[in-house]
C-alpha cells in the first residue's frame, strides 16, 4: 500500500497536467495561434474551432480535476480496506449520453459550414479557375489561356507560385500525380486531400490582398523601413550623379548604412506582422549600386500553400506561395507566364 506521502506526491503530479495544459494555452494565445483570416468563410471555421476548443477545455479541466480529487480522497490509509465495486450503471449512462449529445450538437452545428465549403452544388459561380496538381514535392498550377477554357493548348502553367484576384470566387480542380497530398491554405481555413485518380473541386474567396495584410500588421515598423529605403535611394542617386571619384566613397558608405537599416526595419516589420518565415519571404538585398532601377521594394507579399500530408522524405519542402492582388495585376502576371 502506498504511503500517505506517496499518495500526495502522485496527486500533485497529476494535478500539474491541467495546470501546465491551461498554462500552455494562455502562453501560446496570441503568440503561436491561427494566422490572419483572408477568406470569406474563415470566420465560420474559426467559430467552430473555438466552440470545440472550449468544450474540450472544460472537459479536460473537469476530468483532470476529478482525477486529482479521487487520488487524494481515496488514497490508501492504515486500517482502511478498499471496497470493490463492479459498476455504476447510472453513472455510465450519464457519461455516455453527455458526449453523445455534444457530438450530435457539433454535427448539426457544422453541417451548413461543411456544405458551403465542400459541397460542389453549393459553390458560387467561378470568377477565376485554376487546376492544382500535387506531386512529390511541388504544387503545379494550370490557368485558362486566352480562350478562357481549361485543358486547351493555350493553358498557362506555373510551379509553386499562385496568383489570384481579390474579391473573386476561385474554384480549384485538385489532383495528385503520385501519392496522397493535402492542399492546405492556412489563411483561408481550407484543407483538402489530393487523391491519385480523383479530381476534387474546392473553392475560396480572398477578401483582402496579401500586401494589405502585411502593411496593417507591420504598423510603425513599416514607416521606419520605408524611411530607410528613401535614405538609401537618395544616397544611391547622389552616388550615381557624383562625377568626382573621391567623393563617391562616403556616399557609398552612407548608402550601405541605410541599406542595412532598411533590412533590419523590414525584418522588424515582418515580425510585427507575424509574417517573417511564415507568411512572406524577404527578397535578397540587391548589390550596391542599383543604377537602372528605382528604390528597392519587396515585389511580392505572399502567404503559404502547404502540404498537410506526409508525402515522402521531401515533404518538408513541398511549399507554394499564394499572392492575392487586383485582377489587373493577376492578368499582367499571367502574361509573363506564357
Q: How far is CA 74 from CA 7, 34, 47, 79, 247, in A?
A: 9, 42, 40, 13, 86
CA–CA distance, 209 with 215 (Å, rounded to integer): 10
CA–CA distance, 264 with 183 (Å, rounded to integer): 33
Q: What parts of the chain have a pLDDT lower than 70? A: 1-4, 7, 30-31, 76, 214-230, 232-233, 236, 242-245, 258-260, 262-301
pLDDT of residue 20: 83
**With contact defined as beta carbons under 8 Å apart, do 20 and 13 qualify?**
no
**How much helix, strand and coil, in percent to the nearest 5, is found in the chain?**
50, 20, 30
* Residue 133, SS3 per DSSP: strand
Backbone angle region of 145, left / alpha / beta, with phi > 0 → left and psi within -120 to 50 → alpha: beta
Task: Note the pLDDT tens digit of each residue in 83-128.
Answer: 777 788 888 898 899 999 999 999 999 999 999 999 999 999 999 9
**With contact defined as beta carbons under 8 Å apart, do 150 and 142 qualify?**
yes
Q: Choose among 249, 258, 254, 257: nearest CA to 230.
A: 258
pLDDT of residue 299: 41
Q: Choose among 130, 122, 133: nearest CA to 168.
A: 130
pLDDT of residue 171: 95
**With contact defined as beta carbons under 8 Å apart, do 56 and 231 qualify?**
no
* Residue 231, SS3 per DSSP: helix
**What DSSP state is assigned to residue 109?**
H
* Residue 48, SS3 per DSSP: helix
**Please, what is the angle between helix 220-241 and helix 245-272, to 10°?**
160
**With contact defined as beta carbons under 8 Å apart, do 136 and 314 qualify?**
yes
Complete domains list, the chain, with CATH: 4-78+85-120 (no CATH), 123-209+304-337 (2.60.40.420), 211-300 (no CATH)
- DSSP string across 269-303: HHHHTT-BTTTB-PPPPPPSP--SS-S---S---E
pLDDT of residue 291: 33
pLDDT of residue 278: 35
Q: Are strands 319-325 and 161-165 parallel, antiparallel or unpaired?
A: parallel
Amino acid at each position: 500500500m502506498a504511503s500517505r506521502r506517496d499518495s500526495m506526491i502522485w496527486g500533485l503530479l497529476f494535478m500539474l497536467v491541467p495546470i501546465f495544459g491551461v498554462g500552455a494555452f494562455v502562453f501560446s494565445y496570441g503568440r503561436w495561434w491561427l494566422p490572419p483570416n483572408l477568406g470569406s468563410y474563415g470566420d465560420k471555421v474559426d467559430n467552430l474551432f473555438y466552440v470545440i476548443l472550449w468544450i474540450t477545455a472544460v472537459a479536460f479541466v473537469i476530468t483532470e480535476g476529478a482525477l486529482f480529487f479521487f487520488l487524494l480522497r481515496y488514497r490508501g490509509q492504515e486500517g482502511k480496506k478498499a471496497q470493490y465495486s463492479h459498476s455504476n450503471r447510472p453513472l455510465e449512462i450519464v457519461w455516455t449520453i453527455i458526449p453523445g449529445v455534444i457530438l450530435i450538437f457539433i454535427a448539426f452545428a457544422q453541417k451548413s459550414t461543411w456544405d458551403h465549403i465542400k459541397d460542389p452544388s453549393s459553390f458560387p459561380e467561378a470568377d477565376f479557375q485554376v487546376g492544382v496538381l500535387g506531386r512529390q514535392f511541388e504544387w503545379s498550377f494550370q490557368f485558362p489561356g486566352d480562350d478562357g477554357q481549361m485543358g486547351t493548348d493555350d493553358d498557362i502553367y506555373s510551379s509553386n507560385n499562385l496568383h489570384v484576384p481579390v474579391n473573386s470566387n476561385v474554384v480549384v480542380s485538385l489532383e495528385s500525380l503520385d501519392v496522397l497530398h493535402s492542399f492546405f491554405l492556412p489563411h483561408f481555413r481550407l484543407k483538402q486531400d489530393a487523391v491519385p485518380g480523383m479530381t476534387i473541386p474546392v473553392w475560396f474567396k480572398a477578401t483582402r490582398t496579401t500586401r494589405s495584410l502585411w502593411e496593417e500588421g507591420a504598423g510603425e515598423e513599416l514607416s521606419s523601413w520605408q524611411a530607410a529605403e528613401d535614405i538609401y535611394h537618395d544616397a544611391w542617386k547622389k552616388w550615381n550623379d557624383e562625377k568626382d571619384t573621391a567623393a563617391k566613397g562616403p556616399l557609398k558608405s552612407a548608402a550601405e548604412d541605410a541599406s542595412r537599416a532598411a533590412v533590419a526595419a523590414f525584418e522588424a516589420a515582418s515580425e510585427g506582422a507575424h509574417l517573417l518565415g511564415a507568411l512572406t519571404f524577404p527578397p535578397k538585398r540587391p548589390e550596391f549600386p542599383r543604377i537602372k532601377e528605382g528604390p528597392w521594394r519587396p515585389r511580392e507579399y505572399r502567404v503559404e500553400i502547404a502540404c498537410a500530408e506526409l508525402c515522402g522524405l521531401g515533404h518538408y519542402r513541398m511549399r507554394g506561395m499564394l499572392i492575392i492582388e487586383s485582377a489587373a495585376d493577376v492578368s499582367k502576371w499571367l502574361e509573363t507566364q506564357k
